[in-house]
Structure 1
């Protein structure tokens, strides 16, 4: 049986998904919502707090609670960096690097990155944010030879821009998106509950000459990120 505050969380989120509460709209007071749902204000506040942590709602001091507009959009065409996507939408991108190691590639990395025998990869694990809200957990694999002359900071911060500055021309990407549930590790890193629905993305990015330069496994919080298609 669900805890009462989880039920409240689900009901409010469902109303937002149905358009009953629009983006940017102020919610009724906690007292009014508690009466509407037939729960205590403490239970109501727990459900609201969880939605705030997930980025669905936003509290404004002295003003109230609003439906947040924290969902970042990515147009699925061409090769664009997460930082650029976030900046274009008026948000501040940032990252927390969890690990950055030079290591032997696994079979999938060898295959997708077209690596030769004896080559190494740089495997980078990080959480990426938009306006300090965690949006995605990702593990990126990059051929070590490609970035051997670059500083770690140049790779972890705006990697695509660094490639361009070094004379590389970016080409196409291949992306596969699927749904899954957050495990304990992902839930903690993205500030969501375990088994929360997330969007998983596998992406291989190529230079203009056809050479693969990055293989990324990403896990996005659905409420904070969406993909959309645009045809010419």
Structure 2
């Protein structure tokens, strides 16, 4: 049985995306261009593009055409979300590697950021969160020990710092900054990425009603993660 023409077009466009001939944001050939290239009707070309858009590979904009969709995970910049839940909501599998879990006296500069006295007890964790076994986030977190006394006893291969801290010191407010940085060699290695490619770095300080709960640095490979939000005018 002959392959329908619209499927031939879909396969050709999909192959160009997979082989990086077309990249996220690139405009794909128009209906008229596909008609000329494949010798099909405009209705057939339109069906191919519509189905690729329905499958999430393309974004169609009225009057402008069809563009390759950006399939990197998109996280809200205006919400504090548990990375594990974020991954599961995409229908993917979250896993975690625990690299560091210890206690230390707070250095003066870090203590100042957390509203503590120098030398006060902090807990420190370094984790790598994976999505479908691919590293997505490197998390270094300092936690006020008095607000989360059982932090070091948690099994962070089964839960997350965010989930535990939300339970024992509910979030009241947070501040965060976002910047592009080059990863340290150890971070690049943990994220399985080249050291000369940028990371998206989020620095986040969270507060309960009793004070600063944690200060976290979250690094994501720039080609695997995005931040965004919806704004109502």
Normalized against structure 2, the TM-score is what?
0.65
Tell me the residue number matched to 2:144: 143
Aligned equivalents of 2:121, 2:75: Cα separation in 1:
30
Is 1:219 aligned with 2:226? no
Q: CA RMSD in A?
A: 2.7
Q: Does the 8 Å contact 2:178/2:201 carry over to 1?
A: yes
Aligned equivalents of 1:18, 1:115: Cα separation in 2:
46
SS of residue in 2 equivalent to 1:182:
coil
Aligned equivalents of 1:132, 1:158: Cα separation in 2:
16
Aligned equivalents of 1:131, 1:204: Cα separation in 2:
28
CA distance 1:81–1:108, shift in 2 (3 Å):
farther
Tell me the residue number matched to 1:230: 230
C-alpha displacement at 1:151, in angstroms?
5.4
CA distance 1:69–1:98, shift in 2 (3 Å):
farther
Q: Does the 8 Å contact 1:120/1:143 carry over to 2?
A: yes
Aligned equivalents of 2:110, 2:148: Cα separation in 1:
16
C-alpha displacement at 1:188, in angstroms?
1.4
CA distance 1:20–1:132, shift in 2 (3 Å):
farther
Q: Does the 8 Å contact 1:201/1:218 carry over to 2?
A: yes
Aligned equivalents of 1:144, 1:102: Cα separation in 2:
8
Q: Does the 8 Å contact 1:71/1:226 carry over to 2?
A: yes
Runs of 5+ in structure 2 lacking a partner? 1-18, 29-67
Tell me the residue number matched to 1:50: none
SS of residue in 2 equivalent to 1:15:
coil
Aligned equivalents of 1:133, 1:119: Cα separation in 2:
36
Aligned equivalents of 2:100, 2:194: Cα separation in 1:
23
Tell me the residue number matched to 1:97: 98
Give runs of aligned pairs for residues 54-65 of structure 1, distance below 5 A: none
Tell me the residue number matched to 2:163: 161
In the TM superposition, what whole-angstrom CA distance separates every residue of 1:123-167 from its partner, at most 9, and x where no partner exists? 11111111111012121000111222355225662233323444x
SS of residue in 2 equivalent to 1:224:
coil
Please, which moves more after superposition, 129-138 or 73-82? 73-82
Total equivalences in the alignment: 174
Normalized against structure 1, the TM-score is what?
0.65
CA distance 1:13–1:177, shift in 2 (3 Å):
farther
Tell me the residue number matched to 2:54: none
Q: Does the 8 Å contact 2:106/2:118 carry over to 1?
A: no
